[in-house]
Every structure is written in C-alpha cells, then in structure tokens.
Amino acid sequence: HKLDNSDYSPWLSDPFVRLLNPPDGLHTFYAKAIDADGNESAEITDTFYKISLDRGISTSFPYQKDRASDSVIVTLYWAPNQFSQDPKISLTPLVFDSLDAATFFAFDLTALDPAVNRFKKAVTLTFALPRFDPIKAARLKVFRGAEKSPPQWNLIGGTMTTRKDTVFISTAIESLGRYGLREVGKESMAAAFAVSAQPRIFSPSGRGHGPQTTVSFKLDKSEHVRIQVYNLAGRLVETIWNEEMNAGVNAVAWNGKDKNGDFCPTGLYIITIESRGFQSPPKPVKVMVLNE
C-alpha cells in the first residue's frame, strides 16, 4: 500500500494499490521483504491514523507508566462546520508522577483562541490503546478534572470497543479542559438519557460532510443498551449497538451503512435508544444521509 505519488513499479512483481487519499480512521498495513534468492523477511505490521484537519486532531503519546500499552492515541472528532477556521487545539499530557494510582492517562486540552473554550456541538473524544488487555480496559472510564493539585475528577463515562488488537474508549465532550482515563467501580444511580447526534448531515460515500455521525447520550447507570436506525417508512436499517454500556456519557458511531454493509440511500433516518424498557425521548433523533 502506498501513501505517496512515487512509482516503485519497476521493483515490484505483483500489483499494488495506491492510497493517495485514504479515508479518515485507523489504518493497518503489512510489509514483507523478499530478496533475489526468494528469502522472505518476517512480516512487519504498523498502524496509523488519518484525520482531516477540518474534522479533528489525533495525537499519539508514548506510555511508560506500567507498560500496559505501547502508546495512548488521543483523537478528537468534530463536525465539519464546528469551527469557521482552524481552532489550533493542542493536547498536553500530564506527567505520570503527578497522577494518582487510579489515573491511567491524563492531558490538558487547550486552544490559542479563548472563544473556543466551549464547543457549539458535542465533540467525540476517543482513546486508542494498542495491544491493551480488554478486561483491564473495561474498568477504565473518561473523567474531566479540575485544574487543582491534586486533580479532582468528575465522571463523564465512555463506550469501549475492540478492533483487532486495539481497544477504543469513546465519549462526547462539550468544552476544553483536563481529561483522563481512570479506573473506577460500578455506579448505582438510575438510568437517564440526553441524546445528541453530530453531525446531523453526513456523507458516508465521501461528499464532504464527514463519513459518519456519532450518537452520544448520558447513562447514569451501567445498562444493557440497544441503539437502532430506522428509515422514515419504519423499517429497521441497522442495529449499531446491542450490549452492556458503562455509566456516563457514551458515544457510538454510525457509518451510514445498513445491516448488509451497503451504503444507505440519501434521506432522513431515525435513531432510537432503548434500555430495559426505557426508550429514547418521544422526539426522535433524526440524521440526514447524503450519498448520491
């Protein structure tokens, strides 16, 4: 797989694919060298993130606290029309010596422009932990911290997913500030929802409105949650989540595809959230898919 315009075909015996403009997201590539005598090297695997500047930022930090993971990759994703210009947001990790035993990783999120302090729409915050134990990750949640010494932490939440050997923990945030991953116990409050979908208009096939929408909501108690997408005719299009979720603000992405993996036609779609008989508010959450 190629990421530049150079032509290496004279040195290649097999067809190859150019990736001049890979889509946003996590990419994994594999490489193996073969010499003139046919001797093969060990396979090399690597991953990288591609995030458009007008949609978010992604930063990788080496992690050395207990070598549980090689690195922590922090990604912010926002709707294409969130900012009128580059907000110049930066992430500064807190030194490990200043963190308590329960805090896995923490950072300060700042911007040069003070007007960016609060976001007009929810922004998706994702922690990616390569080669991390999913059982241990299930005890981690996202917190917002007050800038004090020692930091005081308030639970936000987080949704955990796993793809290949990488654990992802995602939530939605509304402002800059201090954020961290911390190990916590189960909450015991009653369930409640406040649902949002951003961006409301998106283009999975690449028309410039962003490739996916992120559904975020607050769940005050760990519950089994089902999130489904319907068309305006009332037909089920896709079930994007149907399992346990952590307490706090959860964030789940829909890529605009149906249960067969095909792009949905252009139109309005309704997203519903259910948990143990508790359904999402009477006013449905609607999103627009532009694919044609």
Q: What is the pLDDT of residue 131?
A: 80
Q: What integer pLDDT is reported at residue 52 of this predicted model?
A: 42
Backbone phi, psi, residue 171, to 5°:
-150, 180
Cβ contact 255:212 at 8 Å: yes
What are φ and ψ of residue 134, in 5° steps? -60, -30
Confidence of residue 179 (pLDDT cuts 50, 70, 90): very high
Report the DSSP pairing between strands 140-146 and 152-157. antiparallel
Looking at residue 56, what is its pLDDT? 56
The one-letter amino acid at 88 = K
Neighbours of 193 (CB within 10 A): 17
Residue type for 207, please? R
Average pLDDT over residues 191-199: 68
Least confident residue range of 75-84, 180-189, 196-205, 237-246: 180-189
Residue 256 has a pLDDT of: 92
Tokens 């190859």 found at: 16
Q: What is the DSSP string of 64-75?
A: -SSSSSSEEEEE
Is the pLDDT at 80 greater than 60? The verdict is yes
CB 165 within 8 A of CB 131: yes
Which residues are paired to 152 by β-bridges? 146
pLDDT at position 226 is 85
Separation between Cα atoms, residue 251 and residue 271, nearest integer Å:
13
**Percentage of residues in the chain with pLDDT exceeding 90?**
9
pLDDT tens column, 111-144: 877 778 888 888 889 998 888 888 788 888 899 9
d(CA 214, CA 286): 12
Alpha-carbon span 109 to 94, nearest angstrom: 11
Domains identified in the chain and CATH numbers: 1-50 (no CATH), 51-183 (2.60.220), 196-289 (2.60.40.4070)
Alpha helices in 65-110 (DSSP H): none
CA angle 177, 49, 105 (to 5 degrees): 40
C-alpha pair distances (Å), 262 with each of 82, 259, 287, 291? 28, 8, 17, 11
Q: What pTM was estimated for this model as a whole?
A: 0.54
pLDDT, mean of residues 195-208: 80
- Provide φ and ψ at 122, rounded to 5°: -60, 140
